[in-house]
Amino acid sequence: MRVDLLLGNSGRHQKAMRTTDCGANTPMLATRSGNSLHSGPRRADRRGLSSSVHLGWALLLFIVLALSTCATTQVQRAAQLGVLGKTYAEAVTLAGDEAMATTITFSLAEIRKERAGGAFPTPEDRSQALKNQIEIIEQRQRMVETSNQLLALLAEYFADLEQFAKQDISTSFETATGGLVDSINKVGSTVESNTQAKAKISDAERTSLAKLSGLVARQVHGQALARVLERDASMIGTQLKLMSKILATYSEWIRARSDMELKEFYRDRVVKPFVATGDLPGKWEQDVRHYLQGTNLSAQLAKAKAAGDRMERFWAGYLAGEISIGDVVADLKDMERLLQEISTFNKAWADANVSKPN
């Protein structure tokens, strides 16, 4: 059991907090407890007590604000990073599936044309060509699968990070501390039947203590997350960079094929029928529209490549405070949307090719 992370290290953080703006709770806690645990006839100077109570509450309020601000930033950072990592891994996996589907469709369409053009004159040539093609596709499929499996592990890390960040530790600590104070009170009440002992924590003090402990817990939680991010910074940076390279590769697979097909489509289905004499085919306008839609998608894919380049530099920029996680998540969402559009377009493309007169 490793409770030192939160309990053991909390001492270190509290020590640090005493010297920074993020705390000074311990002395405050001691003062409040010291005054309240022995309330009674000794409190003669009501005015003095009242001002000390006001001062105490003011300090408590200050601590509450300071602790909330410090911890929330760390928790938000970790949670955002968790979301980013998961979104990234999902986008790359989706891109991999789309890129694989695109390459298979492209290769099979090409080998069909090559066969028809007489590239493989003998049955042995045809057999060998098919074997080679299947090997290329299978090898690629295996690599994409391996990459996806490794990405799934990375996604798991980011999901855990997000879960850790979103763990509402302060509420649990508040409840547990409240319970602890109740138990202390119960012991106190039991002992109170002995006239020598009088120890009781008031309801207001119980609530304050519970809330304060919740805030301390939140601060410790934030610090624990900050340590995780610091510890894993190198690994996260390397993995994000690698993911951006893989995403760029998949985008390139798709874009290169899309561009090649579009060029050929433009030459064969748009230009040739138009420059030829005689009537234009009935589907000519539709083919032009199809071409324009394809070039638009291709341009968007080129933009996605620029986004990929930004992503490759993301971690260094993020650590330097130059790039926000929100921007990158938005880029990734755009990429996912674009991939969906490409998938739809490719289906329409396949339909168009089926209807192509040969």
Partner 1 sequence: MTNKKKAKEKPKELGTEKDLEQLRESTKKIYEAHREKDEDDFPPERRQEYWRNRYFARTAWEHAENAAFANLVDEQKSMLPALAASNAKLARDVQATTDALAMLDLVSTSLNVLAEVITILGRVIPR
**Residue numbers 257-316 binding partner 1 by CB under 8 A:** 260, 263-264, 267
Binding of partner 1 by 183 (CB under 8 A): yes
What is the total count of residues that contact partner 1 (CB under 8 A)? 72
Binding of partner 1 by 161 (CB under 8 A): yes
- Output 6 or 59, the one with its CB closest to partner 1: 6
Binding of partner 1 by 163 (CB under 8 A): yes
- Output 267 or 337, the one with its CB closest to partner 1: 267
Binding of partner 1 by 204 (CB under 8 A): no
* Segment lying near partner 1 (by CB under 8 A), choices 12-20, 58-66, 235-243, 325-333: 235-243
Q: Closest separation between CB of residue 104 and partner 1, Å?
A: 11
Compute the CA torsion angle 345, 350, 351, 356 (nearest 10 deg): 120
Spatial distance between the Cα atoms of 290 and 268, rounded to a whole number of angstroms: 13
* Segment lying near partner 1 (by CB under 8 A), choices 35-43, 61-69, 132-140, 288-296: 132-140
User: What DSSP line would sit under 181-240, residue for residue?
Assistant: HHHHHHHHHHHHTSTT------HHHHHHHHHHHHHHHHHHHHHHHHHHHHHHHHHHHHHH
Q: In the numeric block, which tokens belong to residue 42?
A: 């000794």
**27, 54, 57, 114: which one binds partner 1 (CB under 8 A):** 114
* Segment lying near partner 1 (by CB under 8 A), choices 238-246, 294-302, 303-311, 313-321: 238-246
Q: Give the residue from 287, 345, 291 showing the smallest Cα distance to 101.
A: 345
**88, 173, 315, 349: which one binds partner 1 (CB under 8 A):** 173
Q: Closest separation between CB of residue 72 and partner 1, Å?
A: 17
Binding of partner 1 by 72 (CB under 8 A): no
**80, 87, 93, 147: which one binds partner 1 (CB under 8 A):** 147
Q: In the numeric block, which tokens belong to residue 136?
A: 């290329």
Q: Closest separation between CB of residue 317 and partner 1, Å?
A: 21
Spatial distance between the Cα atoms of 317 and 325, rounded to a whole number of angstroms: 10
Q: Give the residue from 150, 152, 103, 92 showing the smallest Cα distance to 312.
A: 92
Binding of partner 1 by 242 (CB under 8 A): yes
For residues 156 and 239, the answer to whether their CB atoms sit within 8 Å is no
**CB-count exposure of residue 213 (10 Å: 0-12, 13-18, 19+):** buried
Binding of partner 1 by 130 (CB under 8 A): no
User: What DSSP line would sit under 116-133, residue for residue?
Assistant: HHTS--SHHHHHHHHHHH
* Segment lying near partner 1 (by CB under 8 A), choices 111-119, 277-285, 311-319, 340-348: 111-119
- Output 125 or 322, the one with its CB closest to partner 1: 125
Rounded to 10 deg, the angle between the 46-117 and 123-166 helix axes is 180
* Segment lying near partner 1 (by CB under 8 A), choices 26-34, 102-110, 202-210, 298-306: 102-110
- Output 17 or 224, the one with its CB closest to partner 1: 224
Q: Closest separation between CB of residue 1 and partner 1, Å?
A: 5
Binding of partner 1 by 132 (CB under 8 A): yes
Binding of partner 1 by 136 (CB under 8 A): yes
Maximum separation of any 2 CA atoms in the chain, in Å: 116
Spatial distance between the Cα atoms of 333 and 287, rounded to a whole number of angstroms: 30
- Output 180 or 323, the one with its CB closest to partner 1: 180
> Which are the contacts of 173, defined by CB distance < 8 A and separation ≥ 6?
213, 214, 216, 217
